[in-house]
Structure 1
Amino acid sequence: MKNLTANRIIEFRQQIKCIGIFFLICIVPLALANWFSENRLVFHIILFIDGWLTWTFIEYILHRFWNHSKSADKQNAIVQRHLHHHTHPTEIKVTGKQRLAMVLIGFVLISISSRTDNFITFLAGIWIGFFWFFMMHYFLHQRWSKKVFPRLLEYHITHHCKEPDRCFGISCTCWDLVFGTGPSSKKLISEKVTAFYFKGHKHD
């Protein structure tokens, strides 16, 4: 019980530290957006990038502190579902309806932001970031990804099979770099590990 409480305190402090650093970093693009407010194209580009960056941080926080929480109850549904994903890495699917819905929502947000000419572009950036994460996670569990996204694939395999407490970034690895949770070594991924990761896929 004491260890559980101690872990909760440690994780809480780590999250607060991460969030604080994130806000300090994001102040810069917001200040730039305000600085270039008269140039609407630059204004919207900066806001969109900042929105995307915000999603990558949310992705990192959720993956590190929610999916891999050391203080959560072992029967926690979120932790259990993610643990199942680690032990059954190929059981991940993205339906055509899901893809279509995400594309349509992204299109609507971008259309609204272009018409209203305001900070909704930031939300569009977050949504596109989420969509890219959603698809990228699916891509990284397909054999063909080793030809298209070799570095991200190796990074994700490291998280899945070698260092589950590191390499939390999926669509973007920058926050692992910022917070020191990247891979602890640069050892090559063995064929045995790769075979486990892709088990269930019979074709490249």
Structure 2
Amino acid sequence: MLVDALVFAAGLFAWTLVEYVIHGVLGHAHRTFVTPLHNVHHRDPRAVFALGAWIPTAVVLAGAWAMSGMTPAVIFYGGIVSGFAAYEYLHYRIHFASPSCAVEARLRARHLAHHISEPDAIFGVTTRIWDVAFGSEPKPDRMRELAATGARVAPLSGSSNLGRMIRSGIAAP
């Protein structure tokens, strides 16, 4: 049981690196299949673009579980999928809700600073660890200034494109 919990936690942690690579490397640093979808989100933060990834993600997890049971690999992947779910929830709240705690307020300020002022930096949404590790976090004084700017942004009103995507069969925005 403890080993399973540690493997799951390792999957959650692995998600943070996957998130950084998808956002920073595939969405910004290099032109890939992610770039046009992510650019839509930058033009209109109401555009949820990762929704289409949920179907294959869930199919792989269900298939792996059905074929292999709760092996360490499936548990690890379950941690990654749980990290993805937490990211989606937090990312939605960052754009559409007032922060519920100090941690969420800091993450929100960072991400909105990325949107407003620093599209080529501050790629971590759920953590800053990889921005620090890979040098994509601005210097502390600049980061404080950017975060203060992000903190002043009011939550978006209205709805995201989630309903439209569901009605159209989870098509790209």
**Fold equivalence (TM over 0.5):** yes
Please point out which of 183, 187, 190 is paired with 2:138: 183
Aligned to 2:110: 155
Change (3 A) 1:43 1:142: same
Q: How does 1:49-88 map to 2 (within 5 A)?
A: 49-69=9-29, 71-72=30-31, 78-88=34-44
Structure 1 residue 44: deviation in Å?
Answer: 1.1
Change (3 A) 1:94 1:58: closer
Deviation >6 Å, runs of 4+: none
Gaps of 5+ in 2: 159-173
1:142 corresponds to which letter in structure 2?
Answer: F
Aligned to 1:122: 76
* Residue 143 of structure 1 pairs with residue 97 of structure 2: yes
What is the percent sequence identity of the aligned residues? 25
Deviations along 1:74-117, whole A, 9 cap, x unmatched?
xx65323212211211333899xx99x89x87x969x87xx645
CA distance in 2, matches of 1:178, 1:164: 18
CA distance in 1, matches of 2:50, 2:19: 18
Aligned length: 151
What TM-score, normalized by structure 2, do the two folds share? 0.68
Alignment check: 8 A CA contact 2:124 2:130 kept: yes
CA distance in 1, matches of 2:72, 2:50: 32
Aligned to 1:37: none
Change (3 A) 1:82 1:119: closer
What TM-score, normalized by structure 1, do the two folds share? 0.59
Please point out which of 110, 122, 141 is paired with 1:167: 122
2:100 corresponds to which letter in structure 1?
Answer: K
Bigger relative contact order, structure 1 or 2 (CA pairs below 8 A, ≥6 apart): 2
Change (3 A) 1:93 1:80: closer
CA distance in 2, matches of 1:85, 1:140: 13
Structure 1 residue 175: deviation in Å?
Answer: 1.2
Deviations along 1:109-149, whole A, 9 cap, x unmatched?
9x87xx645442111111111111122211111132x2331
Aligned to 1:91: 47
